[in-house]
Amino acid sequence: MDKLRKIFTMDSLIVPLVAILLGLLVGAVVMLIGGYNPLVAYGALIKRVVGNPYDFGETIRQITPLIFTGLAVAFAFRSGMFNIGADGQVLIGMTTATAVSLSFAGLPSAILVPLAVIAGGIAGGLWAAIAGYLKAKRGINEVITTIMLNWTALYLSNYVIRNFFLLKGQNRSEDIEASASMTFLFGIFNNARLHWGTVIALLAAVFFFVYLWKTKQGYEMRSVGLNPNAAEYAGMNVGRNVVKAMFISGVFAGLAGTFEVLGVFHYQSVYAASPGYGFDGIAVALLGMNHPFGVVLGAILYGVLTYGSAGMSFAAKVPPELIKIVLGSIIFFIAAQGIVRLVLKPFFLKRKKEKVL
């Protein structure tokens, strides 16, 4: 019984893995109903991801911002808050990195690129800290403020690009020449847009884990998230921890935007609507059950399925939108873990009886 309870803990691997399998099964059933062959479709998806070095590199590139935004959402949640504004923080980080890169274009790349990265991360953090401050000082729900700040960030970013850095005749900024130094392994992956942001994203996940579970400050943040009244009674500064947690969460999201503009596009577009990185991050955080290393795995799954869905469309003629059904099903089964446990329970009970016999 103790072994069964250990297997079914929240942090175990078996429940998420079965949730993924059930999600893929639901997707297969939907394909069969629509008249498509799920084996051909999933085969095409895998081939799209690992079929050649370029697509494999582009898949890694697709995963990178998902790690950052997933960490942003998960960090806030572990601290007792819901950061729905990662999308806005991505845009602010993106715009700040663009502004710094183009304003100081004469500096050497070795100085300018780190400066732009640091500025983009801090800008995203400060943008998120606005919502943290309003919650700490005025008691305003962070869900409302972060959603509103998403729209503010969109229009502010567009205003800055249009009025200060717009490339004449185009709906985007001027090219950021120094950002070319962000790419690496260019030849190995056939010019795939791999960049150093991937390495930073993995280091950010390690920082998340060490800071939140191995330091006094992280213990305070988790305590505030679990029970702010008890934390305040114990002498912890609840308001300061709220603002700090939102700032760190925003830094992760700001870095996602920073590396997208420096490492992938080398310019910033004027967006007609939100780019959606932050909302994908919510799904990734749910897939990873708000654990930093779970977020990395969730981002890999989400990125593989998203990038590979194009292969399903070309080779198997399956609508790429169907992958959203698969992702939604996986998230559903992870959220509704009781269903997964119900599916697994007979197998483990049977094994237990066999051992008794």
The domains of the chain are located at 63-291
pLDDT > 70: what percent of the chain? 91
Q: Is 338 helix (H, G, I), strand (E, B) or coil?
A: helix
In angstroms, the CA 198 to CA 194 distance is 8
Q: Which segments of 79-108 does DSSP mark as H helices, in order? A: 86-103
pLDDT at site 70: 96
Measured on CA atoms in the order 135, 141, 147, 149, is the torsion positive or negative?
negative
Contact of 255 with 116, CB cutoff 8 Å = no
pLDDT at 353 over 70: no
| Dihedral sign computed on CA atoms, order 150, 155, 156, 157 | positive
Encode pLDDT of 277-314 as tens digits.
888 999 899 888 899 999 999 999 999 988 888 878 77
Mean pLDDT over residues 184-206, rounded? 86
Report yes or no: 48 and 311 within 8 Å, Cβ to Cβ. Answer: yes
Residue that has been written with the tokens 């069969």 in this structure: 32
Q: How far apart are CA 213 and CA 74, in angstroms?
A: 14
- Confidence category of residue 356, pLDDT binned at 50, 70, 90: very low
Q: Which two tokens stand for residue 274?
A: 């939100």
Q: Which two tokens stand for residue 241?
A: 């921890």
In whole angstroms, give the CA distance from residue 114 to residue 112: 6
Six-digit token pair at 157? 């970013």
**Which residues are paired to 166 by β-bridges?**
173
For 36, 73, 132, 147, 321, the CA distances from 143, given in Å and listed in that order, are 40, 12, 10, 6, 28
Q: Which residue has the tokens 């007979």?
A: 346
Q: Collect contacts of 1-8 with beta carbons under 8 A, ≥24 apart.
A: 4/345, 4/348, 4/349, 4/352, 7/344, 7/348, 8/341, 8/344
pLDDT bucket at 354, cuts 50 / 70 / 90: low
Looking at the DSSP assignment, which residues form a beta bridge with residue 195? Answer: 183
Which 3 state secondary structure label does DSSP give 175?
coil
User: What pLDDT score does 169 carry?
Assistant: 84
- In 3D space, the residue among 350, 349, 353, 332 whose CA is nearest the CA of residue 16 turns out to be 332
